[in-house]
Structure 1
């Protein structure tokens, strides 16, 4: 598997980097830059033998919520004087809370990260610590690379997987669909058959935008390959033919009106959102990552989801496309260490990535472990398929809203959302993204 390279970003003053990262607004005029950009290798917040570690993560529902709470208690028990203050947050709430903390130059001690361009900005602004230690060598290389800047480790994944289609086998059978679609044309036919059977084909959290960008991104990969993104990241030419074609193909799907009523106002993780619609058996498909099964269950009315009715298939190939059908789009959920973190934070992170901790996280479902030896804990057949598909992939592309710097990633999300809402053409989507990249 190959990992997308994000290229050289160039050098700039620390104040410029703060502005680029959206941090400048949180720093008073004339304030010393070191107050926001210092690199205290010994860590802040140490008080003799007592240390408090703030930990922000996005596992705000079970099983992850309880698993993480238990891991924190286990570490505290083994390290007298250490207190872990755990703050579980929903995905969007986490982003909203992290922004003012980083603007103030005071990130949490340990916090969720998807790596890529966002982590790179945090590193350039001096907000995260470099991670070292032999334990990092036990992490799958392609996962670890997502959290490297300039060849150095500034974060680590605890989960690496891919985005694909999760589907309801019973609803497929109701529509007389005998097998998951293998090509884009077959996917469109599948949507038509599902609609004819009275079933909502696809659940989509249109209000949050990031789920829609999965479709456009995968279509670029199927049209031009992962290489198309690698080349555009260097040149800024996101308005090339492959990107326009991806938009045109997505419009084919949008024109079939495959999403649930009111999808433009729907969120992902709410009791009436995308995950709940799938978990309650009200839609046949969703395009989502490896965390989909437990999230569907958590927001379903029964808290069980649809169980063994749930299946998984990779994103279909594209007729006439040059991209390899085994190239994948996805990424890792991971952690970064804040610049003021007390010294025991590193030990806690190493503990979270230990084989035993990874097994516990994996056993709950929705986590594909990154530490060698922990993969034996994967029991769900769908997740085994996800891991095997991702592991054997010939190319790998990180989520675009994390791979690139925030301004460009947000433009991708906004532009694709506009296309899905019928407010932008494929050509305009490509042009807007290219403009943001230059």
Structure 2
């Protein structure tokens, strides 16, 4: 059997403590083989500055090395990196979410193992152990976790909930009641960037988890499960029922994530809720509106087999890898180290992020609560489109978009996914 990953990414985050310190970097002139090209997707909000500040410090300490930084929007990056890798023209440093897509690059020899770099000065021990599972294949590690510990939660407008005397729902029926009340008061329940596709799969994937428990793991790893199993059919039906009940803002399948279209209704009071990763909190921090929004876990489904503490996400979003064509691999790794050194960790925490390093000291109440949710989760399932091989991830995104647009049925979607699974996973 062809297995794209050797195990399920069910991971737990260690408890918080105080920030562990590492030694600083000495100023060492370098003879670079060429500029270090660096692509990243931290292209909005505080992201570009977080990256550039770290790169500037690296270049000040290594005056003989030039780093060319290119911020790229999320969706555009996914296409651009595929083309670059296929043409043997990948940048020296680039991000991924680990999982199936990165494993494809590993098998193609497009990225290098980082074992020797990680062993030096016990550098690997700086990080939360769970953060490595998504980038470890065949005993070797191919990426460094940097940006955040990211999970999908439901963000909500506290003022709207208070005005309508709504309580955060714990179960799916309670969520439907909230949706009904919001529609009655002419407030869109949820905003969603359906045009970008990947935000939509959070809905289906969470429902499949809450309903079927380990059904996804069994189907994906081909250990007795199928993507046509009842849990997947029910997930599709429940999601379409939510669409038909007016659960989403009008035109949601035409809203784009990268340009802020999908976040705007929540920020502008036009929508009351938004299922999105906790990186969204950085937008609230930047807008000085952290007190206006709260979050709650994806609701449980009565009678479902999934643990209500399970979350979708990753401990280590984004991971940075080094391409095999990079002419200055050693300095490329040093650049990555600057991205997650103590100064960078402190800067990320200030922006509402949870860097995947040991011994964090967090003071923001929402960040503390998010970290606690991750720590208490029974399992953290990597985003399906990143866990699965790229071909399957693309099919999954397309099918969910059609499903939510009422352009297909849960049964047809399930059949399409199982047909591809038999082709590439068996």
User: How far did residue 306 of structure 1 move?
Assistant: 4.1
Contact 2:197 2:401 in 1 (8 A): yes
1:288 corresponds to 2:279: no
1:323 aligned counterpart, secondary structure: coil
Q: Which residue of 2 aligns with 1:39?
A: none
2:5 aligned counterpart, secondary structure: coil
Q: Which residue of 1 aligns with 2:158?
A: 169
User: How far did residue 362 of structure 1 move?
Assistant: 2.2
Q: Which stretch shows the higher mean deviation, 322-331 or 118-127?
A: 322-331
Q: Which stretch shows the higher mean deviation, 259-268 or 115-124?
A: 259-268
Residues in 2 aligned to 1:199 and 1:350: alpha-carbon distance in whole angstroms: 45
> Structure 1 305/369 Cα, relative in aligned 2: closer, same or farther at 3 Å?
same
2:149 aligned counterpart, secondary structure: strand
Contact 2:50 2:344 in 1 (8 A): no
Contact 2:135 2:141 in 1 (8 A): yes
Give TM-score scaled by structure 1 length: 0.84
User: How far did residue 67 of structure 1 move?
Assistant: 1.6
Contact 2:42 2:72 in 1 (8 A): yes
Task: Give per-residue Cα distances to partners, 1:291-337, cap 9 Å, x unaligned.
Answer: 1122467xxxxx72743111010111111101110111112222111
Structure 2 unaligned segments of length 5 or more: list them: 8-29
Q: Which residue of 2 aligns with 1:344?
A: 331
| Mapping 1:366-405, distance limit 5 Å | 367-373=353-359, 375-376=360-361, 378-405=362-389
2:287 aligned counterpart, secondary structure: coil
User: How far did residue 261 of structure 1 move?
Assistant: 1.8
Structure scoring higher RCO (CA < 8 A, sep ≥ 6) equals: 2
Q: Which stretch shows the higher mean deviation, 55-64 or 378-387?
A: 378-387
Q: Which residue of 2 aligns with 1:231?
A: 218
1:144 corresponds to 2:132: yes
1:425 corresponds to 2:409: yes
Residues in 1 aligned to 2:288 and 2:203: alpha-carbon distance in whole angstroms: 24
Task: Give per-residue Cα distances to partners, 1:70-92, cap 9 Å, x unaligned.
Answer: 11101111112111211111101
User: How far did residue 62 of structure 1 move?
Assistant: 2.4
Task: Give per-residue Cα distances to partners, 1:263-315, cap 9 Å, x unaligned.
Answer: 121101324x1112222222111101111122467xxxxx7274311101011
RMSD of aligned residue pairs (Cα, Å)? 1.9
Residues in 2 aligned to 1:84 and 1:408: alpha-carbon distance in whole angstroms: 35
Q: Which residue of 2 aligns with 1:92?
A: 75
2:80 aligned counterpart, secondary structure: helix
Residues in 2 aligned to 1:305 and 1:229: alpha-carbon distance in whole angstroms: 39
2:48 aligned counterpart, secondary structure: helix
1:335 corresponds to 2:323: no
Contact 2:4 2:103 in 1 (8 A): no
> Structure 1 92/49 Cα, relative in aligned 2: closer, same or farther at 3 Å?
closer
| Mapping 1:26-425, distance limit 5 Å | 48-49=31-32, 51-132=34-115, 133=118, 134-158=122-146, 159-177=148-166, 179-225=167-213, 227-235=214-222, 237-271=226-260, 273-295=261-283, 304=287, 306-331=289-314, 332-341=317-326, 342=328, 343-365=330-352, 367-373=353-359, 375-376=360-361, 378-425=362-409
User: How far did residue 210 of structure 1 move?
Assistant: 0.8
Number of positions where the alignment pairs a residue of Structure 1 with one of Structure 2 = 386
Contact 2:4 2:100 in 1 (8 A): no
Residues in 2 aligned to 1:325 and 1:434: alpha-carbon distance in whole angstroms: 26
Residues in 2 aligned to 1:427 and 1:412: alpha-carbon distance in whole angstroms: 14
Residues in 1 aligned to 2:138 and 2:277: alpha-carbon distance in whole angstroms: 27
